[in-house]
């Protein structure tokens, strides 16, 4: 074919117009190479007290290390995860269920022995499951020998391992704490973050319970002792740590009072901590050095170890602050600070406070949150998402809508970033009810419906219907928290092999993610949609996961309580084929061809669609082919350009003329 100058000019102009109007093609950027296990895989959080009582050597009503070992196969083969994070298993008086540690290098006897632990690690390794421990650096138990020595007298060498201060004297000569700092776990309306110690007439600071005195991380002896704790477990073969309560590790060296929160209202106990703005007890300068120090220790054992920080953003800690704890490429800090955005979007407060404004159906807001997070991360940093943990109401209870819970789980495993899931969420376990006499968490004892009460999300896992303990423990054994009566309806065994179940959905999405490079390591781009009826536009979230190949995944999620019809605006020219791989409404839809320009979604319904499309590399085999293709499609290019310019505007230029079909709600 002969190429004239005029034709070439037309082609060039058309291409420029197309490029300018249609923004960047997703094929332009190269996808990241496959990463480490914690980048391509999935982390499953085990709350050991509630996971499985192996009844070996005998039943205790509390979960055990042997119980975890027994379920490793299930975790790998049924759920499909490659990493577990185990909440604390160390020796502890259990005032905060293991987050109050009295010996960092011993196992709490009810969980088992060190030999059980070694066996667990060996078994996990055999199955290719990585193990993350929970590292609790902010505080010890008040029964830890370090603290017992510290409180024994002011001159004890351990005195300075904790945060001791002299108190103030009140108007009526009463003893008052050194300043106004509060505890996150208020026992009463005073909410003192300090406890008075008679023997030495001083107060010690505790950000959490009075049984959890804060360590003094400005003391180098503390730092090196805690580094040795990391080394102890790394030597045993663990693959990394989740670092507990990280922003609270340092306090203002001047011990200044914190300012009152002008927006504070609410219950003085359950919301007591929020009365102040924590500018002197959270996110203090020096934290970056601390995490760098931990990172160095972890790296002594290899570059594949992971360090994940627990950091919730609040009115002191911004999202940028959270992200700053990735460090720099030259000097990395956390492998990932947890990203709690999805927890707050699928809002836990709303589950038990009807006055909290919450809209977990607001997909435009979700798009904003995810886009902002993605855009804020340095290119080398690994994003991550979390939907639940042992401190917040279970996802299924927060949403109280099975269809929407299925959508949320699908998002967790298709967004760009390492997903972390909470045990039991894979089969949609709900919060249990814990009657007054059986409440365990001190926060539940002060206020069961309060924000900080955590027994409901910690009731034992519902494995099967073999006994009234849902297979969690032996028949007739009193479990540490009661097994929810819902186990009859919701349990893992009943869901296995049932294609309509949550467990089946979760394992299929995970399998797809694990198999597909575009999903576990590809890039992310949110997509525009045209929704009918138009007023539900803000309820639909669509995004693309892609790499350098010409197969990508489009995820379309309708969070609305109503059915919609969606036209997805993909950022590439020609779709050759779109096949639904996951359908949260109907698992049998899988592998059917769908039309992304005309997608019917039920209420709370998502699809994950594999899309094969033309891209630069397939067109670009030779210049001759490119020119021929362009000449042949010059007309189409112009049409696409016009379409992109006018068809993209959401409310104008594109509308279904027909009245939308009534979508069959089964
Ligand atoms: C973290 C843990 C929580 C614990 C607290 C004190 O937030 O997740 O369960 O109570 O730290 O260690």
Collapse the DSSP code of 206 into the 3-class scheme (helix H, G, I; strand E, B; otherwise coil) and give the result.
coil
Q: Please report the pLDDT score of residue 183 as a whole number.
A: 98
Q: Which atom of ligand 1 is nearest to the CA of 100?
A: 12
Task: Show the DSSP H helices in 205-286 as ranges.
Answer: 220-235
Closest by CA position to 601, among listed 552, 568, 644: 568
The CA–CA distances, whole Å, from 261 to 274, 275, 312, 350 equal 7, 5, 18, 21
pTM of the model: 0.88
Tell me the range of 2-6, 201-205, 594-598 where mean pLDDT is highest.
201-205
Q: Ligand 1 centroid vs 244 CA: distance in angstroms?
A: 6
Q: Please report the pLDDT score of residue 616 as a whole number.
A: 55
Q: Is 99 close to ligand 1, i.e. is its CB under 6 Å away?
A: yes
Closest by CA position to 409, among listed 349, 492, 342, 462: 342
pLDDT at 645 over 60: no
Top-confidence residue, 655 or 577: 577
pLDDT at 629 over 50: no
Q: How far apart are CA 112 and CA 107, in angstroms?
A: 7
The CA–CA distances, whole Å, from 549 to 22, 353, 520, 629 equal 20, 47, 14, 20
Percent of residues, the chain, with pLDDT higher than 70: 86
Q: Ligand 1 centroid vs 271 CA: distance in angstroms?
A: 17
Q: Please report the pLDDT score of residue 29 as a whole number.
A: 32
Q: Ligand 1 centroid vs 217 CA: distance in angstroms?
A: 18
Nearest CA to ligand 1 atom 4: 99
Q: Is 391 close to ligand 1, i.e. is its CB under 6 Å away?
A: yes
Q: Ligand 1 centroid vs 591 CA: distance in angstroms?
A: 43
Q: Is 100 close to ligand 1, i.e. is its CB under 6 Å away?
A: no
Q: Which atom of ligand 1 is nearest to the CA of 136?
A: 12
Closest by CA position to 322, among listed 264, 377, 259, 244: 377
User: Mean pLDDT across the stretch 248-274?
Assistant: 94
- Two structure tokens written together for 12: 């060039």
Q: How far apart are CA 464 and CA 498, in angstroms?
A: 14
Q: Is 604 close to ligand 1, i.e. is its CB under 6 Å away?
A: no
Q: Which atom of ligand 1 is nearest to the CA of 454?
A: 9
The DSSP bridge partners found for residue 555 are 543, 608
Q: Ligand 1 centroid vs 99 CA: distance in angstroms?
A: 6
Among 88, 93, 99, 243, which residue has the most ligand 1 atoms within 8 Å of its CB, making it the best to mutate? 99
Among 244, 422, 441, which residue has the most ligand 1 atoms within 8 Å of its CB, making it the best to mutate? 244
Q: Ligand 1 centroid vs 261 CA: distance in angstroms?
A: 23
Q: Please report the pLDDT score of residue 310 as a whole number.
A: 98
Q: Ligand 1 centroid vs 464 CA: distance in angstroms?
A: 29
Are 20 and 14 within 8 A, CB to CB? no
Q: Is 244 close to ligand 1, i.e. is its CB under 6 Å away?
A: yes
Q: Which atom of ligand 1 is nearest to the CA of 209?
A: 6
* pLDDT tens sequence across 11-29: 444 443 333 333 333 333 3
- Strand pairing category for 43-46 and 551-558: unpaired
* pLDDT tens sequence across 440-495: 999 999 999 888 999 999 999 999 999 999 999 999 999 999 999 999 999 999 99
Among 100, 391, 456, 458, which residue has the most ligand 1 atoms within 8 Å of its CB, making it the best to mutate? 391
Q: Ligand 1 centroid vs 193 CA: distance in angstroms?
A: 15
Q: Ligand 1 centroid vs 208 CA: distance in angstroms?
A: 8
Nearest CA to ligand 1 atom 12: 99
Strand segments (E) across 440-587: 523-532, 540-546, 551-558, 564-569, 575-583
Asked whether the bond before 408 is cis by omega within 30 degrees of 0, the reply is: no
Q: Ligand 1 centroid vs 567 CA: distance in angstroms?
A: 44
Q: Is 214 close to ligand 1, i.e. is its CB under 6 Å away?
A: no
Among 140, 184, 208, 214, which residue has the most ligand 1 atoms within 8 Å of its CB, making it the best to mutate? 208
pLDDT at 650 over 80: no
Q: Which atom of ligand 1 is nearest to the CA of 207?
A: 6
pLDDT at 644 over 50: no
pLDDT at 195 over 80: yes
Nearest CA to ligand 1 atom 9: 391
Question: Annotated catalytic sites, by residue?
Answer: 244, 310
> To the nearest whole number, what is the mean pLDDT of the chain?
88
* pLDDT tens sequence across 387-436: 999 999 999 999 999 999 999 999 999 999 999 999 999 999 999 999 99
The CA–CA distances, whole Å, from 534 to 10, 565, 652, 659 equal 37, 9, 10, 12
Q: Is 96 close to ligand 1, i.e. is its CB under 6 Å away?
A: yes
The CA–CA distances, whole Å, from 126 to 82, 119, 415 equal 12, 11, 29
Nearest CA to ligand 1 atom 2: 244
Q: How far apart are CA 277 and CA 282, in angstroms?
A: 9
pLDDT band at 3 (very low <50, low <70, confident <90, very high): very low
Q: How far apart are CA 130 and CA 134, in angstroms?
A: 13
**Domains of the chain as residue ranges with CATH:** 5-32+523-646 (2.60.40.1180), 38-141+219-495 (3.20.20.80), 145-205 (3.90.400.10)
Nearest CA to ligand 1 atom 3: 391
Top-confidence residue, 530 or 33: 530
- Two structure tokens written together for 222: 């503390």
pLDDT at 357 over 60: no
Are 143 and 248 within 8 A, CB to CB? no
Q: Which atom of ligand 1 is nearest to the CA of 389?
A: 8
Q: How far apart are CA 587 and CA 512, in angstroms?
A: 14
φ/ψ of 101, rounded to 5, equals: -100, 130
What per-residue string of b and e applies to 71-88 under the rule 16 or more CB within 10 Å gives b? bbeebbebbbbbbbbbbb
Q: Is 209 close to ligand 1, i.e. is its CB under 6 Å away?
A: no
Q: Is 101 close to ligand 1, i.e. is its CB under 6 Å away?
A: no
């Amino acid at each position: 074919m002969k190429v004239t100058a005029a034709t070439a000019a037309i082609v060039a102009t058309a291409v420029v117009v197309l490029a300018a109007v249609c923004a960047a093609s997703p094929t332009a950027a190269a996808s990241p190479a496959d990463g480490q296990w914690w980048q391509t895989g999935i982390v499953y959080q085990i709350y050991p007290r509630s996971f499985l009582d192996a009844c070996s050597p005998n039943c205790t009503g509390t979960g055990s290390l042997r119980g975890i070992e027994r379920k490793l196969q299930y975790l790998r083969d049924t759920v499909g995860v490659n990493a577990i994070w185990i909440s604390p298993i160390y020796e502890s008086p259990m005032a905060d269920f293991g987050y109050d540690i009295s010996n960092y290098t011993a196992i709490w006897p009810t969980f088992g022995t060190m030999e059980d632990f070694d066996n667990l690690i060996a078994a996990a390794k055999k199955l290719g499951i990585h193990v993350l421990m929970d590292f609790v650096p902010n505080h010890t138990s008040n029964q830890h020998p370090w603290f017992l020595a510290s409180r024994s007298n002011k001159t004890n060498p351990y005195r300075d391992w904790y945060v001791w201060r002299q108190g103030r004297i009140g108007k009526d000569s009463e003893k008052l704490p050194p300043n106004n700092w509060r505890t996150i776990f208020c026992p009463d309306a005073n909410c003192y973050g300090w406890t008075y110690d008679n023997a030495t007439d001083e107060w010690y600071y505790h950000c959490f319970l009075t049984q959890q005195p804060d360590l003094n991380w400005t003391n180098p002896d503390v730092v090196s002792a805690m580094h040795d704790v990391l080394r102890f477990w790394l030597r045993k073969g663990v693959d990394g740590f989740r670092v507990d309560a990280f922003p609270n590790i340092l306090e203002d060296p001047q011990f200044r009072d914190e300012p009152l929160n002008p927006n504070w209202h609410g219950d003085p106990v359950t919301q007591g901590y929020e009365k102040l703005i924590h500018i002197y007890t959270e996110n203090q300068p020096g934290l970056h050095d601390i995490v760098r120090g931990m990172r160095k220790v972890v790296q002594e054992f290899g570059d594949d170890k992971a360090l994940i920080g627990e950091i919730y953003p609040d009115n002191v800690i911004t999202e940028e602050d959270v992200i700053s704890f990735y460090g720099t490429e030259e000097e990395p800090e956390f492998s990932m600070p947890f990203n709690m955005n999805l927890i707050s979007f699928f809002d836990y407060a709303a589950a038990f406070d009807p006055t909290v404004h919450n809209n977990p159906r607001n997909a435009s807001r979700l798009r904003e949150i995810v886009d902002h997070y993605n855009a804020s991360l340095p290119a080398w940093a690994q994003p991550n998402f979390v939907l639940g943990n042992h401190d917040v109401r279970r996802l299924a209870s927060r949403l109280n809508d099975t269809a929407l819970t299925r959508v949320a789980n699908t998002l967790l495993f298709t967004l760009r970033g390492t997903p972390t899931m909470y045990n039991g969420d894979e089969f949609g376990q709900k919060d249990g009810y814990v009657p007054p006499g059986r409440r365990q968490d001190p926060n539940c004892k002060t206020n069961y419906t309060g924000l900080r009460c955590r027994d409901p999300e910690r009731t034992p896992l519902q494995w099967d219907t073999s006994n009234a303990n849902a297979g969690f423990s032996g028949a007739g054994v009193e479990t540490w928290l009661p097994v929810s009566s819902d186990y009859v309806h919701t349990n893992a065994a009943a869901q296995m092999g049932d294609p309509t179940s949550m467990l089946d959905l979760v394992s299929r999405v995970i399998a797809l993610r694990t198999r597909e490079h575009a999903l576990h390591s590809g890039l992310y781009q949110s997509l525009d949609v045209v929704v009918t009826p138009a007023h539900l536009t803000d309820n639909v979230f669509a995004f693309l996961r892609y790499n350098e190949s010409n197969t990508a995944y489009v995820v379309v999620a309708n969070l609305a309580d109503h059915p919609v019809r969606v036209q997805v605006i993909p950022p590439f020219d020609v779709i050759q084929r779109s096949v639904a791989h996951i359908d949260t409404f109907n698992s049998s839809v899988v592998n059917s061809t769908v039309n992304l320009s005309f997608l019917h979604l039920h209420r709370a319904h998502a699809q994950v669609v594999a899309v094969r499309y033309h891209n630069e590399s397939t067109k670009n085999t030779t210049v001759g082919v490119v020119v021929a293709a362009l000449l042949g499609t010059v007309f189409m290019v112009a049409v696409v350009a016009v379409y992109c310019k006018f068809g993209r505007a959401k409310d104008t230029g594109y509308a279904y003329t027909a009245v939308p079909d009534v979508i069959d709600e089964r």
